[in-house]
Amino acid sequence: MTSTRLDVDRDRLGKDLATLVLTVVELLRQLMERQAIRRIEQGDLHDAQVEEIGTTLMMLDQRMTELCEQHGIRPEDLNLDLGPLGTLLPHD
């Protein structure tokens, strides 16, 4: 039996995992934002709800920026290239 050693760069692995997790969170954040905008445009929400959603989305955006900075990740790194399908995150 031949033993194969796998050299793992732990720092790179940690950054790649953080990038993957933040990409999923950013995708969900964008989906929630689009849903909120749709509901606002339809008039489904009261003024207080619109205000609360706006504040929450701004805080989440700020936190995402902080997390990216903490892990040395640029926001554009979160938009994975899916080859012929294009990019994962829609353009704002």
Over residues 6-25, the pLDDT tens digits come to 667 777 888 889 999 999 99
Q: Chain-centre distance of CA 2, in angstroms?
A: 41
Query: pLDDT for 22-80, tens place per residue?
Result: 999 998 988 999 999 999 999 988 999 999 999 999 999 999 999 999 999 998 888 87
Q: Do residues 58 and 66 touch, judged by C-beta distance below 8 A?
A: no
Per-residue confidence (pLDDT) for residue 91, from 0 to 100: 61
7 Rama class: left (phi>0) / alpha (psi -120 to 50) / beta? beta
More confident residue, 2 or 53: 53
- Distance CA(39)–CA(41), nearest Å, equals 5
Distance CA 87, CA 71 (A): 22
Reported pTM? 0.74
